[in-house]
């Protein structure tokens, strides 16, 4: 088999006729001629005489008359009889190449190709100038007709190869477009993709074992994403009707993230940008402590609940203080986090005998970076902590905390007093006011520019008398607010998950009714004079509405963040607004 590559133009066909006139018994059919509109190439090239070596045992001498391209043997494929196409000069004129196929029946040979000699013809040629003739006549060889079947196979192979590369390119384009859409959709909690996140998570928790993957490991991964800004943002503008004001502190939305999720202030602004109106950092202890042994967090997926016995694991004030300082500086430059309220939950170390000392130190070092402070006296995982909710202990702790806040305010006033006394002109007065405002933001870099509000977090497992004692102390000391409630040590009979008997505090859906009742009780006992932030079992906007109707000013979520995913804040806000529009604001 010999593959002859030739240029498809009139000069080539003339050349083939010339070859036949010199004694070549050729039977060739040239397919798919591509005629150039620029004119025949025969006008651009002179006459040439080309001597070919033996190919596959066939002596051959070709005379090319006014040819635009010639055929040369390929040394790489010599034994297979494959010719390669080569232009005489100016490749730009020789782009369309067509294939002719001829079949030779003479014995094959592996003789090596001799150098090609090309020289111009000077005139008429004689038989002596024709090496393909001897005394007897032309050499005995014949070329059969074109192998049409092989040509069709080659054509199909070419099409198949092009189709393969086309499919690969199309696949890459579709995959790239899909990834770009997913990246865009996953970056916005209000996108159509993220709207189905809670359903996907619910299906995932149904298919996987309760504690696979490890809850604490999964939590660390989420915190890693949040600290690098990889969690989705809530780009929708919140309705002004959701805004809440608690003693001068404005919450642009009443849905926040409860303490325990971001214990060490790793990414509070990341959660603010997810749509939460406020984020409560902590619990933070003065000294670092590891907490209780692992495993200490358990999912109860069938019950939409969590059991934890972490025990105030904290990085300590030395780590949290610079982080909060950076947060207070960065949030003013972020449009999505600028209005977010930052709360800080503080507690005592496990081995501290006097809780007042740890509370004082916490307020002294990080109090001025918080919009509100929460004293945690209700965790069930620190021995003896809940006893501090009793009347006398509670009064002592609140008094110590308020005393430390007073010191911060005195220090703040000293900074303001250093401003020089101005003249009695309007311009100087305006300058003084601007300067004092800036100093207030420098010392208290918070939403209000003044001392933080003070809250106490209480347990749900309180008797009526214990609740009344807390209410009395709150009114007596002028406490700003209560966080109601922490986790419970009770185990309802309705629990179905295998981990239901684990020790620790239970949060989530089983806590809903108990927390709502506790909010109602504390609101009535404090006569509505103490602000209440409700936590425990908040999953939907209707849950938030029920807590607000019971007496809460704002709500916090924790377990539903795990089971509904990053869309939970936006979902609750939308549902709450819908309920408010239907039922009217309370």
Q: Catalytic positions, please? A: 379
What three-state secondary structure class fits 348?
coil
Burial class (CB in 10 A: 0-12, 13-18, 19+), 71: buried
Number of Cβ atoms within 10 Å of the Cβ of 38: 9
The CA-to-CA distance between both ends of the chain, in Å, stands at 93
Locate all alpha helices (DSSP H) within 444-478, ordered by sequence.
464-477
Pairing mode, if any, of strands 278-284 and 255-257? Answer: parallel
| Residues in contact with 219: Cβ distance below 8 Å, sequence separation at least 6, in sequence order | 261, 297
Measured distance CA(347)–CA(282) in Å, rounded:
9
| Reduced 3-state DSSP string for 96-137 | CEEEEEEEECCCCCCCCCCCCEEECCCCCCCHHHCCCECCCC
Number of Cβ atoms within 10 Å of the Cβ of 4: 18
DSSP 527: T
Q: Which two three-digit tokens encode residue 453? A: 């509000």
Whether 76 and 113 have beta carbons less than 8 Å apart is answered as no
- Would you put residue 371 in left (φ > 0), alpha (ψ -120 to 50) or beta? alpha
346 strand-pairing partners = 284, 375
Specify the DSSP element, H or E, that contains 261: none
CA distances from 316 to 244, 278, 287, 319, 351 (A): 32, 22, 5, 6, 14
Whether 310 and 507 have beta carbons less than 8 Å apart is answered as no
Q: Which residue has the tokens 């209005």?
A: 339
Number of Cβ atoms within 10 Å of the Cβ of 285: 27
Whether 188 and 194 have beta carbons less than 8 Å apart is answered as yes
Alpha carbon 582 to its chain's center: 36
């Amino acid at each position: 088999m010999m593959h002859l590559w030739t240029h498809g133009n009139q000069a080539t066909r003339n050349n083939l006729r010339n070859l036949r006139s010199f004694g070549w018994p050729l039977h060739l059919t040239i397919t798919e001629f591509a005629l150039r509109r620029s004119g025949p190439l025969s006008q651009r090239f002179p006459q040439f005489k080309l001597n070919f070596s033996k190919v596959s045992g066939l002596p051959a001498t070709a005379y090319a008359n006014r040819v635009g391209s010639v055929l040369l043997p390929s040394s790489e494929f010599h034994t297979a009889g494959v010719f390669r196409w080569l232009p005489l000069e100016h490749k730009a004129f020789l782009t369309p190449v067509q294939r002719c196929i001829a079949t030779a029946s003479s014995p094959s040979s592996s003789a090596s190709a001799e150098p090609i000699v090309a020289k111009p013809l000077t005139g008429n040629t004689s038989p002596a100038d024709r090496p393909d003739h001897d005394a007897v006549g032309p050499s005995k060889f014949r070329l059969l007709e074109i192998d049409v079947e092989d040509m069709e196979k080659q054509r199909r192979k070419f099409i198949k190869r092009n189709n393969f590369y086309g499919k690969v390119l199309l696949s890459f384009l579709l995959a790239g477009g899909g990834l770009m859409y997913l990246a865009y959709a996953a970056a916005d909690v209000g996108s159509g993709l993220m709207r189905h996140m809670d359903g996907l998570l619910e299906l995932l928790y149904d298919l996987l074992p309760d504690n696979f993957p490890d809850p604490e490991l999964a939590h660390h991964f989420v915190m890693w994403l949040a600290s690098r800004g990889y969690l989705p943002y809530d780009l929708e503008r919140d309705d002004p009707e959701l805004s809440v004001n608690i003693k001068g502190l404005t919450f642009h939305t009443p849905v926040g993230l409860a303490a325990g999720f971001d214990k060490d202030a790793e990414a509070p602004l990341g959660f603010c940008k997810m749509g939460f109106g406020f984020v409560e950092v902590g619990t933070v202890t003065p000294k670092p402590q590891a907490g209780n042994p692992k495993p200490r967090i358990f999912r109860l997926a069938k019950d939409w609940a969590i059991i934890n016995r972490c025990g105030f694991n904290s990085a300590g004030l030395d780590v949290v203080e610079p982080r909060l300082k950076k947060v207070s500086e960065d949030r003013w430059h972020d449009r999505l986090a600028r209005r977010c309220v930052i709360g800080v939950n503080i507690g005592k170390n496990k081995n501290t005998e006097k809780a007042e000392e740890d509370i004082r130190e916490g307020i002294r070092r990080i109090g001025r970076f918080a919009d509100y402070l929460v004293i945690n006296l209700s965790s069930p995982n620190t021995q003896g902590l809940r006893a501090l909710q009793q009347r006398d202990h509670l009064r002592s702790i609140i008094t110590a905390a308020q005393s430390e806040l007073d010191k911060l305010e005195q220090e703040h006033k000293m900074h303001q007093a250093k401003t020089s006394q101005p003249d009695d002109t309007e311009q100087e007065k305006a300058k003084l006011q601007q300067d004092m405002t800036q100093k207030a933001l420098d010392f208290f870099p918070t939403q209000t520019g003044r001392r933080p509000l003070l809250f106490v977090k209480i347990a749900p497992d309180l008797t009526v008398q214990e609740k009344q004692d807390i209410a009395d102390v709150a009114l007596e000391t002028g406490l700003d607010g209560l966080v109601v409630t922490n986790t419970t040590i009770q185990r309802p009979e309705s629990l179905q998950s295998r981990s239901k008997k684990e020790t620790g505090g239970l949060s989530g859906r089983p806590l809903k009714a108990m927390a709502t009742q506790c909010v109602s009780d504390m609101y009535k006992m404090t006569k509505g004079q103490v602000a209440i932030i409700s936590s425990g079992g908040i999953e939907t906007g209707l849950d938030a509405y029920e807590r607000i109707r019971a007496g809460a000013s704002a709500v916090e979520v924790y377990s539903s963040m795990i089971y509904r995913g990053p869309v939970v804040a936006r979902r609750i806000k939308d549902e709450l607004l819908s309920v408010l529009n239907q039922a009217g604001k309370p």
